[in-house]
Chains A and B, each alone.
Chain A
Amino acid sequence: MTTTIFLQQLVNGISVGSLYALVAIGYTMVYGILRLINFAHGDLLMVAAYAAIFGIGIFSNPWIAFPLAILITGCIGVLLDRAAYRPLRNAPRISLLISAIGASFLLENLFLVIFGGVPRPFPRPDFFARVIEIGGLRIQVLTIYAPLITILLVLGLLYIVYWTKAGKAMRAASRDFETTRLMGINLDRIIALTFLLGSCLAAAGGIMWAMKYPQVNPFMGIFPGIKAFIAAVLGGIGNITGAVIGGFLLGLGEIMIVALMPELAQYRDALAFVILILVLLFRPTGIMGETTVE
């Protein structure tokens, strides 16, 4: 393998990894507070992609359409909590899990009924579709922008979680619901905020995913969703920094293994599951996970 191809794949891996990272954060945040694997989270990628398609169709300007799509997806995430999880706050956790799986099927099939199963092309804005050449590497700018956007969004999120009052309330709630309430904090609002932030990040990931693989269909969120979930487990579920690291590592690992051993190319998707099994066997708390999660 030439250096050029190696670098090309490296950049690719980082780029895909950044998308996993964005989606993984939502899994990890919701898990941190509700101890729930939000199976419907991956489907928010798909929701965001459709919202962006229609947004561009209406405004024909991605700088209006994309933020709007992110906001709409964020609100749908909050709505998901309100409708599927909040009524079950005091129910056994298995009920929540079942509700999450149901919500996921509902979103997928609702979009299937409304928009049909035929994949739609995603209108890639020129801004992201340009190809540049750096030292013999031909790279689509999206590949470079994706990790940069991810890092910016993650820094913003960390600021909210660690420096604002609401963020501190989120961290408190991740440990102790009752005592958080005793501070005069409206717990439901804090949980809604968690869903809003996680869903907005997933939406940003979903839009970039749709630009990278511009085929939008109602089931497109499943695989990246599962991968991001694995990334969250790899990083240590419940830990935001861990989710980011897990996302980058998984994306990089997937692409690099295929690059180094092309005969394994067919097994690319299986690799993530191998990682999941290994993590669960040998380090269930993940990379950043300690005995307790934050």
Chain B
Amino acid sequence: MLEVDDLHVYYGGIHALKGIHLSVDEGRIVTLIGANGAGKTTVIRAIVGLVKLNGGSIVFRGKDITRHPTHQIIRQGIAVSPEGRHVFQNLSVLENLELGAYKLSTAEFREQLEWVYSLFPRLEERKIQVAGTLSGGEQQMLAFGRALMSRPRLVLLDEPSLGLAPLVVEEVFRAIEQVNRQGATILLIEQNAMAALTIAHYGYVLETGKVALEGPGAELLKDERVRNAYLGD
């Protein structure tokens, strides 16, 4: 569904991504783990055209989307729940969700809204509340829900567990699995390698801008190197 090949990105003089490749098959949860600064977020930003590419190609559903403008990439059926959540603090929960469904008709919007509310009932309870007043966990649900509003085929989730209490993390991960079972493909970026690999079908380990290791989630969980570096064994 998504094929990323030989991606190169420079930030000033720093070679942030050094020929990343990854592929996400339809219906899967694929995760990208790695330490801080390994380039995980840059991969997502590169896919949706928020950073300048210095080389490589990105193909989504057979169509080359390399260097397309961000809004056009999103309209192909990719949604992003960005790192740090970035909900629109000055808008209400419902308005945030409406913007997620910017290109949908009113009927489609209602349908999606019902679905997102069923995934995160808390959002419905707080729909008229200004998003800036939500708790961190609720903002994460909103960022995720907002991404789902566009009827995406592929959801890019950047660090959904960052700064959340363990109980909330569990809730978010349960939602990821549920959304995936209902047909959405997921590319999950995580520092919480244990949680991510547990639910992922396939995983990539990123180290200083390169794919150091890849394999099915369960296998990576057992891998000596992964255990030493990311799981604290």
Residues on A facing B (Cβ under 8 Å): 165, 168-169, 171-172, 174-176, 178-187, 292, 294
Pairwise interchain contact B102-A183, C-beta atoms closer than 8 A: yes
Q: Min CB distance, B47 to chain A, in Å?
A: 11
In the complex, which residues of chain A have a beta carbon less than 8 angstroms from the beta carbon of B89?
175, 292
Q: How far is the CA of A176 from the CA of B100 in the complex (A)?
A: 14
Q: How far is the CA of A238 from the CA of B100 in the complex (A)?
A: 24
Q: How far is the CA of A105 from the CA of B164 in the complex (A)?
A: 53
Out of A178, A185, A186, name the residue touching B99 (CB < 8 Å): A185
Pairwise interchain contact B74-A184, C-beta atoms closer than 8 A: yes
In the complex, which residues of chain B have a beta carbon less than 8 angstroms from the beta carbon of A174?
90
Closest to A292 in B: B90
Given contacts A165-B102, A181-B50, contact A171 B88 (CB under 8 A): yes
Pairwise interchain contact A168-B50, C-beta atoms closer than 8 A: no
Q: Min CB distance, A35 to chain B, in Å?
A: 15
Give me 20 A-to-B residue pairs in the complex whose CB atoms sit less than 8 angstroms apart, sorted by A's number.
Answer: A168-B99, A169-B102, A171-B90, A171-B95, A172-B99, A175-B89, A180-B99, A181-B71, A182-B48, A182-B70, A182-B80, A182-B82, A183-B74, A183-B102, A184-B75, A184-B150, A185-B71, A292-B89, A292-B90, A294-B90
Pairwise interchain contact A182-B74, C-beta atoms closer than 8 A: yes
Given contacts A168-B95, A168-B99, A169-B102, contact A186 B90 (CB under 8 A): no
Given A183-B100, A187-B71, 17 other A-B residues pairs in contact with their CB atoms under 8 A: A168-B98, A171-B88, A175-B88, A175-B90, A178-B82, A178-B86, A179-B82, A179-B88, A181-B70, A181-B71, A182-B70, A182-B80, A183-B74, A183-B146, A184-B75, A185-B102, A292-B89
Q: Min CB distance, A242 to chain B, in Å?
A: 14
**Interface-central residue, A178, A179, A182, A186, by most chain B CB under 10 Å:** A182
Quick check: is B15 within 8 A (CB to CB) of the other chain?
no
Q: How far is the CA of A187 from the CA of B49 in the complex (A)?
A: 14
- The DSSP consensus for interface residues of chain A is helix
Pair count A-B, CB < 8 A = 61
Q: How far is the CA of A208 from the CA of B13 in the complex (A)?
A: 55
Please encode chain B, from 152 to 166, with 1 for each CB lying within 8 Å of some chain A CB and 0 for all others.
000000000000000
In the complex, which residues of chain A have a beta carbon less than 8 angstroms from the beta carbon of B71?
181, 184-187
Closest to B48 in A: A182
Please encode chain B, from 54 to 89, with 1 for each CB lying within 8 Å of some chain A CB and 0 for all others.
000000000000000111001100011010001011
Please encode chain B, from 79 to 116, with 1 for each CB lying within 8 Å of some chain A CB and 0 for all others.
11010001011110001001110110000000000000
Q: How far is the CA of A292 from the CA of B74 in the complex (A)?
A: 29
Q: Min CB distance, B206 to chain A, in Å?
A: 21
Closest to B103 in A: A184
Q: How far is the CA of A176 from the CA of B70 in the complex (A)?
A: 14
In the complex, which residues of chain B have a beta carbon less than 8 angstroms from the beta carbon of A178?
50, 82, 86
Out of B88, B95, B146, name the residue touching A176 (CB < 8 Å): B88
Q: How far is the CA of A294 from the CA of B91 in the complex (A)?
A: 10
Q: Min CB distance, B96 to chain A, in Å?
A: 8
Q: How far is the CA of A172 from the CA of B91 in the complex (A)?
A: 7
Q: How far is the CA of A172 from the CA of B131 in the complex (A)?
A: 12
Q: How far is the CA of A172 from the CA of B90 in the complex (A)?
A: 8
